[in-house]
Every structure is written in structure tokens, then in C-alpha cells.
Amino acid sequence: MNAQTRLGAFVLIALLTLALFSSKIGGFQWGDAEGSHINAVFNDASGLSVQTPVLMAGVHVGAVASISLKNNQALVGLLIKPGIELPASTRAHIAGGGLVGEKYIALRARAGDMTPMAGSVIPVTDGGDFRDMISRASALTENATIFFNKAEQITDTVNTILDENRADIRSTTEALAGLIIESRPDIRSSSHDLAGMLKENRQALHQLVQSLPKTAKAGHAFFESGAVLMRDLHVLVLDNRENLYRTLFELRLASENLQALTDDVRRNPWKLMKKAPEIKADRRARQRRMEEMLLMTGRMGLERQR
């Protein structure tokens, strides 16, 4: 075997070895891979690709077999190694291998869960990706910087206003202090007078405070008895309503008769000298009889004469 043949064989063996190691490191499968196929639906599958590893508790249990778009979401097909049964509490999320590491799919399950998972779709949760945490921290830092810049601007504005109105503020403060100093004797005397008045009438105030509950109780009893009396009066009026109406009706008739008699005596005084004074027909007799019948019987009209 000449030197060119040996060199070609060495290069071929090196290429085959390199391809074998690359397939092992990258998880490449020759031919149809064995295992169970399940799906996971993510809102964002950025950083994932076919052959992305699937880890559970840090153990390599499968790889990403396919990535497609379904209903504006990423449908990721996972190929789980044979002999691995996922429990019913399994949840999937996208995690990162570090600050600059590649992403992978992490599976989590409740410890001691032996119930096998039903169906072919794994529920997903929001993962704690380190990059997401850094981006959120960066956004929080930016918001804090904006807040402190605004606070500094507000402080500068307040300082400017104070500098511009420092003389007015000083004069107002001095005037207020002078007013307090001038009014101090009056305030002190008013306080002493108020204290003396409270001291002199302490016993009366104490008695008043002690008598307030009794007064309130007596007032409550008075209003309760008044309510009972009003109810009794209402019942009495309802029970004697017809008698009251009858009395008022008779009083009105008597008043009308007295008025008619007074008018007749005033116009014809000689009629009092007659033994049997003439009684004229009353024009309102029929109306009064109808009103009396309506009051007593609740019917309008006179009974027919037989």
C-alpha cells in the first residue's frame, strides 16, 4: 500500500469518526427514532430547533422532533425515549442553559406522582429563563432611572420656586410668628378661663353625663308609649268611623235647620205668635235622605215605594 492510499484511508476514518462524534453530541438519530411522541404548545418558541434536548430533573429524556405553527402558536413535537413514562403532573417550559447557553425544554413533575399522563399534549408553564430575568431587571432599572430623573426635575423645580419666593415666604413666616407672639396672652387667658369654667362646672357636667342615659331611656319609653297611643287612637277611629260620620251629618243638619229658623224669624217675626206655625217643605229633604242612606247603607238612591 503506497503512501497516497494510506493517507486516503486515514482521512476517511477521521471523517467517519468526526461524523459519529458529531451525531452523538448533537443527538442526531440515524433512521426512524424510537420512543413516544407528545406535543407542547408555546406562545413563543424562540431559540428552539429540531434536536433541541428535552431534560427532566437534569436528565436527558428526549429531543424536539418538529416545530410548526398552529392557531398563531408554536406546536412543538417532542420525542421521549423508550421506557420513560411521564406522570400526569408533568409541566413543560423553555429554559436556558446559562447566560449565553442554548435553550432546552425542561419537564417538571410532582415528586411521587405515579399516575401516567393521559393524552398527547403536555401543559406548559412560564419558565424562569435567565435571559428573561435579565431583560425584566433591565426594564425595571430603566423605569427606576426615569423615576429618579423625574424626581430630580421636580426637586429642581421646587428649589427654583423657593428661591424665587424666598422673601415672601420669610415675610409671611415672620408675620405669622409675630401674630402668635402678640396673641399669646389672649390665648393663655382664654385657656385659663376655659379651664376654670370646666373646673367650676365639673360636678354639673358629671351629673349631666350620668343623667344622659336615663334621659335617653325615658325619651325612648315616651316615644314608644306615644306610638302605642297613636295605634290605639287609630283603631278607635276606625271602629267608630260610622258613628263619627253620623254625628257630623246630624250636626250639619242641625246647623242648617238652626240657620233656616234664624233666617225665618228674622224675616217673619210674627210667625212666633202663631199656635201652630206653618212648616214648609224642605227642598233639601230628599238630598239629605240620600246622603243619610249612603252613609248608613253604602247605597245611593231611595228604595222604591210599593
Over residues 128-148, the mean pLDDT reads 69
Our measurement of the distance from residue 117's CA atom to the centroid of its chain's CA atoms, rounded to an integer in Å, reads: 40
Whether pLDDT at 99 is above 70: no
| Whether residue 53 has pLDDT greater than 50 | yes
For residue 80, what pLDDT is reported? 92
CA distances from 50 to 45, 81, 94 (A): 11, 15, 14
Q: What pLDDT, on the 0 to 100 scale, is given for residue 256?
A: 78
Cβ atoms of 116 and 85 within 8 Å: the answer is yes
Single out the residue of 131, 134, 78 nearest to residue 107, CA to CA. Answer: 78
Position 278 scores a pLDDT of: 55
Long-range contacts of 218-221 (CB under 8 A, 24+ apart): none
Mean residue pLDDT of the chain comes to 78
pLDDT-based confidence at 98, cuts 50/70/90? low
pLDDT at 165 (0 to 100) = 86
Q: Cell for 293?
A: 242612606
pLDDT at residue 127 greater than cutoff 60: no
Q: How far apart are CA 152 and CA 84, in angstroms?
A: 60
Residue 42 has pLDDT above 50, yes or no: yes
Phi-psi region of 275 (alpha: psi -120 to 50; beta: other; left: phi over 0): alpha
253-278: pLDDT as tens digits: 788 778 877 877 777 766 666 655 55
Cα distance between residue 93 and residue 102, in whole Å? 14
- Tell me the pLDDT tens digit for each residue of 68-92: 998 999 999 999 999 888 999 999 9
Distance CA 156, CA 202 (A): 56
DSSP labels, 187-215: HHHHHHHHHHHHHHTHHHHHHHHHHHHHH
